[in-house]
Structures are given as structure tokens and as C-alpha cells.
Structure 1
């Protein structure tokens, strides 16, 4: 994603698929190194319904028993168990810290990724949710785990999946943590994401306004058109729009034909179409376990303000719900201390995750578990 031609695709996912970019030379001081003062076990478990075998790592303290446990759920894009991005191994850093605080952690490769079987490209968010349910089922077989204190920690798209599973399996989920979780409908997130990302790059307000107008019309079509008719509708709309605004495609370094094809190909992906039309509100309403939602105020992918406000409104409507929200100044989508929050900063920042975020997560989990 180094030029304007590919930059247009930056907004076509909650952009966590940057792995493999010169990682050997990157300094990542928070990546855990041995010796480890806890048990690490390589495990596999099965999503029987989908005939998928997930491979992962279970970590738990050396001493004690009946540990609370958390399943880590990755964001969009094919992620390995460490949610590795530009040399950062966010889930490994988080798992290491939580395990040291007495919390067992299961992290695993997405289906069809690394050592896990299955087809990643054809999977929808709901399919990934079934993989999480399989992870929960696996933890329920482990003698080290407190079966009443199994929770989910979802990052980005994982923050959509966690309430899906919690609402579907209320007796099995003791808590959920949403890290930059999406709590509003996908099309709204995309429009906000585009605006914030362009602003973080220093784009002019007139350019941003033009992009937002295009996206507003685009999202209206996507959310009102059946998938089988979408390609033709997007082609007609984009060709017409570009003909009326000749510089629109040119400014992205594309011909009108290439830009039109890019839009049609990208937005007719079943996963993406499903994501844009999915509203997490119902799953969140039907989630009855404690919820912790953390967002960075420099996040240009999942805007902090709108997504936390949705949870606060839910809490206001249902006062009995145990919902805790917190936003962090200067933290980006990966919870790194950042300057602009742009995705192009992720690799340049040596910090993988601000340590105080991990403190907040572990403190909250251990407090919730004590009350169970």
C-alpha cells in the first residue's frame, strides 16, 4: 500500500493485513522473550460444523488452578495467532501480560491461515464467530480453566464477533472486552473511517468533502441492493459519477475504467458486503455479561467517539447492563501512542501497545471474575 492506486483499497477492510513488510529489521521491544514464567502449550481444536481445525497457543500460570480465561479474536484480514502486523505481535504481547496477571489466554490462527485449516476467503464474520465458539468449547474441556470465567477479547472486527458469540452462548461467556470494537453499522464506520484517514494524511477539506459525498451515495446503494444485483448497480453509479467528476479517478492515479472496476470488485466481496450491512446493536443488546470497551482517540479506522457513544446509549436504555467504556488520548487503532493515528504510522512506531491499556484490561477482568 505504497501508492495512490492502492491507497483507495485502504478503506476496504478494517486494515489489519499488513504482515510481512520487512519485519526482520524492525525493533519491537515489547515482543516477549524467554524464559517464560508460565506454561505455554501448542493446541488444536475443531469447529466441527464447518470442518475447520484451528491451531493456537494456550498460556496459563505455572502455579494455581481454576484460572479465568480469555479467547483473543483478531481483526479483519487473515491473521495469525499473534495478530502480527508490521512486526508487531499485539496478541502475543497481550497474552504474555495477561497470563502473568493470572489469566489464561487462548490465541489462534484464523481459519485458512498459518497452521489452521479452512477457507479464509469465503468466510463471513458469522463463520469466524463459530470458530470462536469452538475455542470456547475447547477451553471448557481444560481442567486448568474456571468454566464460569471464560471471556472474549475482540480487536476491531473481533469486537463485532465477541457480542455475536456472547449473545448466542450467554451461559458460556463470562465477560467480553472490545478493543476498538465496532458497535455501529458497517457502512457508517466506513464513511467515518474514510474521513478520519484522509484528514490524518493531511488531505484538503474540499477533497475530503468530495470523498464523503461519493461514499455516502455508494453506501446507500450497497445497503439497499441485493448482492446479486450489486455489481451492475455499482458499475452504473461509479461510471456516471466519474464522468461527471473527471478528476475523481485521476486524483487517485487511475483511469475511470480501472477505478470503476476497483469499486465493483472490492465492494461485491461477500464478506465486505455482509460487514457493511451488519449492525451489531442487536447482539450487544442481547449480551448480558459485563462489557469493557476501550478505544483510542487517534483511531482512524474505528472512530472512538461514535462507537463508544453507541454503547453509552445502550447503557442508558438498559441501566442494568454492566458496561464500562474508556477512550485514550493519542492512541491509534493498535493502541499505540501515536501522532496522527494514520495507518502509515503503525510500522514506524516501536511500541506495540501502550502498557497502561493492558493494565486496564487485566485489572477489569480480575475485578469482574472476583464478583462471579
Structure 2
């Protein structure tokens, strides 16, 4: 159920309302954005990429406001949207570090159901926009909810997650090894102290698989082990080939995650 809390923003072309959505014992907080007009509108649920992200796609040290910009652009074109804080992030309850991938799928599914219940949303025009990790969550939900008309996937990948993580680590090593000047020197010195990305990534993957804990310590950091174990076991290609929902795939030519060779 989507419960309206307050009118957060109102303008000549759109209005926004803060909402609360129940997902099991977790209360998710988000923003419903819609054109400032009467009637029913096409609607989009926005599903995040990986990391402790709030409803706008921001986290500590990274303020991109991707989803808020998209929501406002959609509203100005007659499209409603719902964006939400991940569990344990922003104003949502829960613990992000102990959250599994399956929990994130459940949360997105509950948000889609709440969006579909809105009286201002058209029954025949319900879409999911996924970014990065959200590109895997979106098709999984669409197979369970026949009401989904289409998917918009930003930076999708069909590689197994372990392959993707190792490839990214190797690419990072390659770029740092060729980085000139003081920056390159400092990064390479850090590699000597902390370990090179490839070996560090492989150690983390092995440690997570050997553990049944929700969180593990890796070096000086704590890692969400439950989440990583679940996505490592996910057959990404099957996720995409199993869905019959129309998809629009959007990726950059130089994106480390969306390898052009996969397309």
C-alpha cells in the first residue's frame, strides 16, 4: 500500500508527494511525481543500481540526482513516476549492509504494486526503469507482474557477476598502471600496500562464498556478503532471456559494465 505523507513540491507542470510503502517488516520511503493535471498517466518505477542509494540515486560522496532529474523530465512530458530510498538508506527503515539481492527484488516489487494502485496511474501503461543492478531486477519483476508494459534498462549487462567484477578489476589495474604523474605513482603505491584490484577482488569473492554471514570484513572495510553471494549465483543471461516484456536497452560505448561486445 502506498500512503501519502505530504505534498513536498508543487509547480505549474508537476507535483510531488512523499509516500511510505510496506515491504514485509521494512518501510520504504519514496517520492511519487506526476504531471500537475487531472486524469490518468503512464507511470515509471525507478530501480537503483548497486550501493547504498537514496531515491535520487545519491549516496555519501556521490550526488548525481539521476532519478530526480528523470522524474521531473517525465512529469513535464505527461508521465508519472515513483522513486524510493533503498532499505537502510535515506528515510527507509532497515539495514543496508545485511540486505540481500532477493530483498531488493521484493522491495521493488512492492513499490510497483503500490504505484499500480494509484488512481492517477493508467492500468495499461506501467513501466520499470532499471539502472545497472536494477536492469536485472526489472525483468524479474516483469515476469511476475503481467501489468508491466515495458522496461527501460540503463547500463545492462548479461555477464555473470563474477566475470564482470574480475574484468572491471583488471581494467582498473590497466588504467592505473598507465596513469602518468603523481596520481599514477600514488595509486600504484596504494596497490602495493592494499593489494592489486584483481587479487583483492578474487579474495573477496572466495571469502564471501565460504561464509554464511550477512556481513564480512575484508581488509579495512565491511562488505554486504549476503547480497554479494546472491548476485554471484544469479544466472544473468537467463534473467534476460526468460522475460517476454519489451525492453529498451541504453548503454555507453565505453561503459566498463556494459561491454559493447555483448550486444
TM-score band w.r.t. shorter chain: 0.7 to 0.9
Identify, as 1 or 2, the structure richer in strand: 2
Higher Cα Rg: structure 1 or 2?
1
Secondary structure at the counterpart of residue 116 of structure 1: coil
The 1:214/1:137 distance shift into structure 2, 3 A limit, reads same
Among 237, 254, 259, which residue is 1:298 paired with?
254
Among 115, 118, 126, which residue is 1:150 paired with?
126
- Give the match for residue 46 of structure 2: 72
2:101 corresponds to 1:125: yes
Aligned residues: 238
Deviation at 1:79, TM superposition (A): 1.0
Question: Matches of 1:81 and 1:136 in 2, distance apart?
Answer: 14
The 1:228/1:127 distance shift into structure 2, 3 A limit, reads closer
- Give the match for residue 184 of structure 1: 159
Secondary structure at the counterpart of residue 272 of structure 1: helix
With normalisation by structure 1, the TM-score equals 0.57
2:131 corresponds to 1:175: no
The 1:262/1:36 distance shift into structure 2, 3 A limit, reads farther
2:91 corresponds to 1:110: no
1:296-348 per-residue CA deviation (whole Å, 9 max, x = no partner) reads 12323x13325xx2xx5xxxxxxxxxxxxxxxxxxxxxxxxxxxxxxxxxxxx
| 1:157-168 equivalence runs, <5 A | 157-168=133-144
Among 215, 219, 225, which residue is 1:262 paired with?
219
Structure 1, gaps ≥5 residues long: 1-32, 230-259, 313-372
Question: Matches of 1:105 and 1:66 in 2, distance apart?
Answer: 12
Question: Matches of 2:221 and 2:56 in 1, distance apart?
Answer: 32
Question: Matches of 1:36 and 1:227 in 2, distance apart?
Answer: 54
Question: Matches of 2:200 and 2:178 in 1, distance apart?
Answer: 16
- Give the match for residue 33 of structure 2: 59
| 1:326-345 equivalence runs, <5 A | none
Identify, as 1 or 2, the structure richer in helix: 1
What RMSD, in angstroms, separates the aligned Cα atoms of the two structures?
Answer: 3.1
With normalisation by structure 2, the TM-score equals 0.78
